Structures are given as C-alpha cells and as structure tokens.
Amino acid sequence: MMDIDDDCEAMTPSRRAVLGAAGALFAWSFVPKFAYAAAGSRDPRFLLVVLRGALDGLSAVPPIGDPDYAGLREGIALTKDGPDAALPLDGFFYLHPAMPNLARLYGAGQASIVHAAATGYRERSHFDGQDVLESGQAGPGRTDSGWLNRLIASLPPGETVSRHGVLGVGVVPPLVVRGPAPILGWSPPRMARAGPDLMQRLSDLYGQRDPGLARALSQAIETEGIALRSSMNGETRGGGGPDSADGMKRIAEGAAGLVGADDGPRIAALAFEGWDTHANEGGAKGRLAQLLGGLDGALAAFEQGLKPVWKDTVVMIVTEFGRTAKVNGTVGTDHGTGTIAFLVGGAVKGGRMVVDWPGLKPEQLYEKRDLKPTTDIRGVAKGVVSELFGLSGPVLAERVFPGTGELAPMRGLVG
C-alpha cells in the first residue's frame, strides 16, 4: 500500500508559500548593495535545479554492482547488458540510458554524482522536505529566506556576482532565492507580451506616482531586454510545462541566456516538476525515463547557452528526498530518504562518484526500507559555493546554513 501524503499531487506555487514570496517579488526594486570577492580571477556562475517530487536515485544512478539491487527493483531494475543497457560510470554504478549527454559530460570530467545523499530531514512530506532543502535550515518552517539569498547577502565587498542579485525562475520565486538580497525574476512566456508603447506609458505613470514601482518596472524591462537579446522570448509561447522535456529545455535555455549574459545575474535557481513516481515508474523506458531524458536535454541547453562561461560554471541538481528501495504494488516507489545529487559544469572536478555506499541489505537500509543517506547535501552545497565564491566556513555555518557548524564543507568538488 502506498504511503502517499496529502501533498503528492500538487507541488506548484499555488500550494507553496505564495504570500511569503510577495516581499521577494518587490525586492526586485532594490538596487543591490552587496558585493563579491572573486575566488581568484574566476567569474563564476552557479545554477541550482530542484527536482520537485523526490527523484528515485536508485533508478537514475543504479548500483548494478550491488548484489541486492536487482531483487529490490523487481520490474524496473536496469541491466548493464542487452538492449537499453545502463551507461557505465565506474563498474559498480551506472547511469540511466536516458541520459547519454550526462554520461558524456561525466566522461569528459565535467560531471560528478553524489549518491546516498539527503538533507537532515527524515520525514516524507514533499513541502516540508523542499522547505528544508531550500531554506538550508535543520527543519521546516523556520525562516522565510532561502540559502541562496543569504549567500548573496553574505558576499564581501566587490562587484559582479551581487550586482544583479539572484535569479529566481518561475511565476513565484522558489524559497531558496527569497530574502532581503535582491531577486531578479523571469518566467517562460505563455502569452503575448506587452508592447514597448505600453511599457513606456507605465514607466511614465509610475515615475510620477510611485518611484518604488518605477524602479521595479525598470528592472523588469532590463531583464526582458537581456532575454530578448538571448532570443529567449521571440517565439516561445505555449509549449510544455516544467514536467515535460520541452518545458525543461525552454526553462534551461532561458536561465542560461540570463546567467550567461555579461550584464546578467551570476546565481540562479529553478525547478522541474513531476518526479513523484508512485505508480508505473518504468525502468529503461517509461515515465521516469522521459523525465530523465528531459533533464538530460536541459543539461545540454545549459552547456550550449553558457558556452562562453562554461569553464566557470557549476549546475547543482538536487531533490527533497529519495524513494523506497523496494518497488511497491503499482510498479512504482514511495517516499524515501537517500537519493542523489548531480554536479555538472566546466568548473566541476568531475568524472567520479562521490559516495560512502551504505549497501542494500535489509539491515543496511534506513528504517529497513530506504537507501540510507551517508552524505549531507548541505555539506556538498557548502563545499561548492565556498570554492566558487570564496566564502569561509564560519560565514557558511552562521549565515548561509545556520546551525551547521559541525558540518564541514565538502572540499575538492570544484576545480
């Protein structure tokens, strides 16, 4: 019997903290006063992708070399031989065959995979799990700010990174970017956009009556200008949503166009939906394979759109928790614990699995049902941003990820 909690079916902004985002939306009007101290001469880019719904890490990156793997994954287990074989990584771990582009990046030393990972959250609510993942706090409901926003606010005096704040992609900015530091917003267009004549009239009106709205509109027009120069908005009305391959690609192209621009933001967060695979998950083919193929296409779009700055880029892909080790009665998997994270980009020290493998025997599973997490995803995030942006351990522990002084940044993830 599936343990579906009430929040499985709708993880869109309508059921997230829309009111909590209102202040962040108006933060677009603030002129950034925060600054940046480059780690060396690098002009880094960092993009965080949240896979909402809980990615099945044991299917995305199957441990085919573990003798207990196949028995737990009856009906969806991948194999290393035959048609639709999984893609080899290190002889023990393999990659889902829907992700050949990621396999290429891994082989080129531009991608690493963190396995048996999770935050400190051990319940199984999507909303609480996403809250912990994006807030950077030890538990849900403890703050209205996200750790990427606090990162921007913690940067020492300098120039580039914080000049445009953090980019939040979506109709409502994700929690991870909300907070006092400036937010730049962009959402893929789904309807005809206002013409320049209307924009000018609104600018004149706001300039006379509301300077705050005038500044917000000016920032929005500037963002739109970057998007148009990047050919993101010229002809892309409609199309799939963030749970489709087409939608993931369009979102990735848009984010890459903004983050890759000389005058664009250096840090961004976005989300892809639909990873809650309780039923008919599929193995080499099926629902999860389609989602992973869409993610693989999005990675190609990131690489292409960020090509001039790819060598200084890290794309970090995370999810709120994993899924059960054993398949359920509807050939899917239920809410679990340990999962995976991807690190992709030219700045990644790639071509390796980052893992302390716990095993899949019954006594090795968390609560006898889930992949046991052995790596805290906050330590991974700490390590990446400290090496990209030069933030110290105390700053990360006190401001960005409060209360995690005992959790050391994982070093050596970024080249």
In this structure, what token pair is assigned to residue 214?
A: 């005038």
**CB atoms < 10 A from the CB of 100, how many?**
14
How far is 102 from 111, CA to CA, in rounded Å? Answer: 7
Strand 313-319 and strand 87-88: the pairing is unpaired
The answer to whether 394 and 409 are in contact (CB under 8 A) is no
The answer to whether 336 and 54 are in contact (CB under 8 A) is yes
The answer to whether 269 and 178 are in contact (CB under 8 A) is no
| DSSP code, position 60 | H
How far is 225 from 236, CA to CA, in rounded Å? Answer: 15
CATH numeric code, 41-188+239-400: 3.40.720
Query: What letter represents residue 239's amino acid?
Result: G
Element (H, E) at 315: strand 313-319
Largest Cα–Cα separation, the chain: 71
- pLDDT for 156 equals 67
Element (H, E) at 340: strand 339-344
Residues contacting 245, CB < 8 A, separation 6+: 290, 293, 294, 297
- pLDDT for 216 equals 65
Overall pTM > 0.75: yes
- pLDDT for 7 equals 55
pLDDT per residue as tens digits for the range 342-389:
999 999 999 999 999 999 999 999 999 999 999 999 999 999 999 999
| DSSP code, position 141 | T
Residues contacting 195, CB < 8 A, separation 6+: none
Backbone φ and ψ for 277, nearest 5 degrees, come out as -100, 65
Residues lower than pLDDT 50 in the chain = 1-6, 9-39, 191-194, 197-198, 201, 231-238
- pLDDT for 160 equals 64
